[in-house]
Structure 1
Amino acid sequence: MGADNAGRQEAPVRQDADPAAVRALRRTALVVVALNLAYFFVEVGVALAIRSVSLFADSVDFLEDTAVNLLIFIALGWSLRARARAGKAMAGIIVLPALAAVVMAVLKFADPERPDPLSLVVTAGGAIVVNSICAWLLARHRHNVGSMSRAAFLAARNDVYANAAIIALGVVTIFWASGWPDIVLGMFLVLLNFTAAKEVWEVAEEEDLAAKALAGEAIDDD
């Protein structure tokens, strides 16, 4: 563990973000908020109509991304330590879609009905366009403001992967009249979100260590 911390300190996060980079990220975050919130209503409506676990999990993902980017917009003016705490909070936010997918999957175990393949493909196709735009907008900011920008980029990137998987699921369900592929994909989304949460938490920990170093506090290497 001590070696791991030492490795992290060899490549510390930036202590002071460039004001121009902060302003640019704030503008980008607001655009991403608008895109995600709008498509959330589209996708959640379709997911509930066709009883799709994976599509429901992905719709909650849009809501999660809205919350993450709103938090980014608010917290960018805070101190390094406060940003680290916000990064940890965002790691918690990222797991919410995973928990939602688990709940819906459990409820569907008793009746694994196949969701409509065409609705899956069309809706996920729209989602992948929205998330690709968001990931592209956020990509240039992901190393500028520590866990703040990294959290937003990771969320958008993982959504693109999830949307591609849902499109593949739609094709599979054309030939396989079962709801189990939809349930399995929902569990895949759980894994993606927990992985993103772990990465964001680790970056926030780095910022916390940097804040302690600036304050002259002792750093626990355990």
Structure 2
Amino acid sequence: MGASCCHHDHNHQPSHSPDPKYRRILWVALIVNALMFLIEIIFSQRANSVSLLADAIDFLGDAANYGISIWVLAMSVQTRAKASLVKAASMGLFGIAVLAHAVWNAITGVVPDAQTMTLIGFLALAANVVVAILLYAYRNGDSNMRSVWLCTRNDALGNVAVIIAALGVFGTGTAWPDLIVAVIMATLALTAAWQVIKQARRELTPVE
């Protein structure tokens, strides 16, 4: 999806003034993600769910990403592209960390609480759908705006996956649905990180 983007300005000056509405949306997204991180980190421990924990870590990463996006919004395209590389790195590290945690849970064999997973999953989905609707109009901007949209999209997909995992845990009585969803979420993070890196590198390449 990273290939279908708008034309990019390679000048060192801002290509346009930041949209005040977009800045406000980023602040809303930052607050929502920070609150959901606190909620999910608490209940992921109570539920012993690696997919819920992965979602909590993702919320924390996105809150930081929205903060970076607000900071660089009025800066040059190349500065925003460099910020995108930082965000892409955080998305990649998130994916690797989730894979490692999934392996650990597979070894220990802890079965998560399906009911808690379902309730928190629906709450997280509602939060991300609201943010995704607000950000939809800005999904095809520069790599910085693109990374914001990809994070939000992945979060909503991850929430649906957590709910499906909860149903799987409830139906099978095993941790495998939870672990499988955690691996899928990690793969989404790694894929999105690669897409953002490719676009940011194009924006950092001077026009000959």
TM-score for both structures, normalised by structure 1: 0.85
What residue in structure 1 maps to residue 16 of structure 2? 18
CA contact (8 A) 2:43 2:120 kept: yes
**Pairwise mapping of residues 115-134 of structure 1 onto structure 2 (< 5 A)?**
115-134=112-131
1:17 CA drift (Å): 4.1
2-side partners of 1:95 and 1:202: how far apart? 13
2:29 counterpart (7, 27, 32): 32
Would you say 1:158 and 2:154 are equivalent positions?
A: yes
1: CA distance between counterparts of 2:72 and 2:145? 11
2:65 match: secondary structure? helix
Distance 2:78 2:69 in 1: 14
Equivalent residue, structure 2, for 1:4: none
What is the alpha-carbon distance in structure 2 between the residues aligned to residue 17 and residue 127 of structure 1? Answer: 35
Match for residue 193 of structure 2 among 197, 201, 204: 197
Seen in structure 2, the aligned counterparts of structure 1 residues 49 and 116 have a Cα distance that, compared at 3 Å, is: same
Name the residue aligned to 1:108: 105
- In the other structure, the counterpart of 2:140 is 143
SS at match of 2:154: helix
Query: Match of 2:70?
Result: 73
Q: Which amino acid aligns with 2:22?
A: L
Say how many residue pairs are matched: 202
Q: CA, structure 1 residues 75+11, in 2 after alignment: closer, same or farther (shift >3 Å)?
A: closer
Contact 1:138-1:149 within 8 A present in 2 as well: no
Residue of structure 2 in register with 1:46 after alignment = 43
SS at match of 1:109: helix
Counterpart code for 1:50: A
C-alpha displacement of 1:27: 1.4
Deviation, 1:202, is 1.6
- Structure 1 position 58, deviation (Å): 0.6
- The secondary structure found in structure 1 opposite 2:130 is helix
1:110 Cα deviation from its structure 2 partner: 2.2
CA contact (8 A) 1:125 1:167 kept: yes
Counterpart CA distance in 2 for 1:11 and 1:171 is 40
Shift of 1:184: 1.4
Q: Which moved more, 1:73-82 or 1:101-110?
A: 101-110
State the partner residue of 2:55. 58
**Percent of aligned positions that are identical:** 27
Distance 1:195 1:119 in 2: 28
Structure 1 outlier segments of 4+, above 3 Å: 14-18
Structure 1 residue 20 displacement after superposition: 5.0
Q: Helix, strand or coil: the match of 1:95? A: helix
In structure 2, C-alpha distance between the alignment counterparts of 1:134 and 1:64, rounded to whole Å: 15
Counterparts of 2:86 and 2:43, CA distance in 1: 29
**1:3 alignment counterpart:** none
- Please tell me whether the aligned partners of residues 122 and 159 of structure 2 are also in contact (alpha carbons under 8 angstroms): yes
Residue of structure 1 equivalent to 2:91: 94
- Return the offset for 1:60: 0.4
Distance in 2 (CA, whole Å) between partners of 1:122 and 1:55 is 11
Provide the rounded CA distance (Å) in 1 between the counterparts of 2:41 and 2:176.
20
Q: Cα 1:14–1:132, aligned 2, differ >3 Å: closer, same or farther?
A: farther
Relative to structure 2, which stretch is displaced further, 63-72 or 107-116?
107-116
> Structure 1: which amino acid aligns with 2:17?
P
- Over the aligned positions, Cα root-mean-square deviation in angstroms equals 1.8
